[in-house]
Amino acid sequence: MAPLVRQRGIATKSPREAVTGVEIAFACLPSPEVSRAVAFARMAQRREWPAHLCRDVDRRSKTVKAIAAELAKSNITVLDSPVSGGPRGARAGTLCHHVSGDRTAFERCKPMYDALARNAFYVGGEPGLAQVTKVANNMISAAGMVAVVSKRQRLP
């Protein structure tokens, strides 16, 4: 947290405190269960959620679809935005966001994505589509690695 605070980030004690008074919030959460808990726990306090929630969650598009549908009832836009590049990409500044959801919300959030990653690609209007795109990207990358190893080891 300290490196972010040194760059004018604001440390908070809870997700609720983090989103109070902001228009746009990013959340990077470890599992579908945590994603749902954070999103739905705030439904009783809708006024505290930002207008746009840009998020990177699990690899299950059904989770982000359910969260987006529920938050839309409170006029909260969810952008599905998984990250490619892993820890090595984070250190090198070469991360990539795959983003799906409302196009206008994406354009509004694009400068923030650009600050977080080298590339942010809009892949479509349906939340969950970015999750599918990331999985496809990972599969193509894995196939490339297998091809390189096969060639180096002269496998059939």
Q: In this structure, what is the dihedral angle of CA atoms 123, 129, 135, 141, given to the nearest 10 degrees?
A: -10
Between CA 110 and CA 114, with CA 113 as vertex, the angle to 5 degrees is: 85
Annotated active-site residue in 13, 62, 134, 151: 134
| Contact between residue 115 and residue 40 where contact means Cβ atoms under 8 Å apart | no
Q: How far apart are CA 143 and CA 11, in angstroms?
A: 41
Q: Which residues contact 76 (CB under 8 A, 6 or more apart)?
A: 46, 49, 50, 51, 52, 53
Annotated catalytic residue 13: no
Catalytic residue numbers read 134
